[in-house]
Amino acid sequence: MSDAHHRAALDTAVVGEWFVVSTTARIGVTPLRTRLLGRPLAVWRDPSTGEPIAAPDIGAPQRYRAIDRYGYTWVSLAAPRRALFTLPQYAQPGRRLIDCGAFGVHTSAPRVIENFLDMGHFPYVHAGILGEEPHTEVKDYAVHEDENGELWATDCAFWQPRAAAAADTGMDVDYTYRVPQPFCALLYKTSPRMPAERDVIALFVQPLSEVESRAHLLMLLFDDEHDNTELVSFQHTIFGQDKPILENQLPKRLPLDVRAEVSTSADAMSMAYRRWLKTKRLSYGVEVTSSR
């Protein structure tokens, strides 16, 4: 048994979480084979009920928990620690629900989530889209853990040249970040077409191993002007800019010592995320002590 496999077996903070492994549309009676937490995984549908089934392989007696939710099939390798988080916007009339595909990234799942939560890199990595010099300031914002144990960053604001595919001019954008479980994050941001509403971008990371991830991206938008190809292409551009940055970060496992890499007020959510993971005693995909 590999060290990563052994640690996953012991890490109850991980094996009892729900993980996206595919869109529901891709799961049929023929098994889809993938990996989760370093383990082989086969997922298919019961031909009589249509319910998803997950196991180490199609002939294996062991079964994992599997459910369909929000357009994806989710798997938990042990008794779930909690019910899957709610996402009421998924059922909201008028929203377009768009799967942007899955992106392979050679880094840990916590690295992918932390990058998603970071506004400071917008002007430098996503110049002309999500940020632009000299508009580099990250204004102070609030971070808290709610009564459900979810991590939130509120009152976030950033000027963006093109906040979404539907944006035709620069605008001040309000952001709210939500981390309902360790490897899932949601962004609620100003909708260019419906300012009273918020577009939602959801990132569900499937840890293939401790240092290999697959990022599943879902958009819940108000946009009646752009077709799916245009909207997906916009997100592919953003993730394509993030990917080389993520893959060049060392160590690939996220250090939970907040002194290891981040220290400014602009990094408040990054620091809170690391502390939050530490309180959950999570060890998979992270370094508990500084690598320095």
Which residues lie below 8 Å from residue 6, measured CB to CB, with a gap of 6+? none
Domain limits at 208? 88-287
Instruction: Mark whether 200 and 281 lie in a shared domain.
Output: yes
Local structure of 232: helix, strand or coil:
helix
Instruction: Mark whether 154 and 278 lie in a shared domain.
Output: yes
Q: What is the mean pLDDT of residues 35-41?
A: 96
pLDDT(279) > 70? yes
Instruction: Give φ, ψ of 120 to 5 degrees.
Output: -60, -25
Measure the CA–CA gap between 134 and 142, rounded to whole angstroms.
24
pLDDT per residue over 126-174, tens digit each?
A: 445 555 655 556 677 899 999 999 999 998 886 766 544 544 556 677 8
What pLDDT sits at residue 194?
87
Residue 31 gets which letter from DSSP?
P
Instruction: Give φ, ψ of 12 to 5 degrees.
Output: -65, -20
Domain boundary residue, one of 76, 97, 117? 76
What CATH number is given to the structural domain containing 230? 3.90.380.10
19 near 75, Cβ under 8 Å?
A: yes
Instruction: Mark whether 104 and 246 lie in a shared domain.
Output: yes
Q: How many domains does the chain have?
A: 2
Q: What is the mean pLDDT of residues 60-69?
A: 97
Instruction: Mark whether 110 and 215 lie in a shared domain.
Output: yes
Helix (H) or strand (E) holding 184: strand 184-190
Q: What is the mean pLDDT of residues 165-191?
A: 82
Instruction: Mark whether 96 and 210 lie in a shared domain.
Output: yes
Domain boundary residue, one of 76, 105, 137? 76
Task: Identify the weakest region by mean pLDDT among 90-99, 154-163, 256-265.
Answer: 256-265
Instruction: Mark whether 280 and 178 lie in a shared domain.
Output: yes
pLDDT per residue over 21-32, tens digit each?
A: 999 999 999 999
What pLDDT sits at residue 254?
96
DSSP string, 200-220: EEEEEEEEEETTEEEEEEEEE
Residue 237 gets which letter from DSSP?
H
DSSP string, 75-130: EESSS-SSPPPP-GGGG-TT-EEEEEEEEEESS-HHHHHHHHT--TTHHHHSBTTT
157 near 173, Cβ under 8 Å?
A: yes
What pLDDT sits at residue 150?
98
Token duo for residue 270: 């990054």
142 near 269, Cβ under 8 Å?
A: no
Query: Residue 69 — very low, low, confident or very high, per pLDDT cuts 50/70/90?
Result: very high
Angle of helix 109-116 versus helix 228-248 axis, rounded to 10: 120
- Percentage of the residues of the chain whose pLDDT score is greater than 70: 81
Torsion of CA 221, 225, 229, 230, to 10 degrees: -90
Instruction: Mark whether 153 and 54 lie in a shared domain.
Output: no
Domain boundary residue, one of 76, 104, 131? 76
Measured CA to CA in angstroms, residue 272 lies from 88, 126, 198, 269, 285 at distances of: 25, 24, 24, 5, 17
Strand partners, 154: 142
What pLDDT sits at residue 160?
62
pLDDT(17) > 70? yes
Task: Identify the weakest region by mean pLDDT among 1-10, 37-46, 279-288.
Answer: 1-10
Query: Residue 291 — very low, low, confident or very high, per pLDDT cuts 50/70/90?
Result: very low
What CATH number is given to the structural domain containing 25? 2.20.25.680
Query: Residue 122 — very low, low, confident or very high, per pLDDT cuts 50/70/90?
Result: low
182 near 167, Cβ under 8 Å?
A: no
Measure the CA–CA gap between 88 and 98, rounded to whole angstroms.
15
Per the omega criterion (within 30 degrees of 0), is the bond before 207 cis? no
pLDDT(73) > 60? yes
Instruction: Mark whether 38 and 156 lie in a shared domain.
Output: no
Instruction: Mark whether 210 and 144 lie in a shared domain.
Output: yes
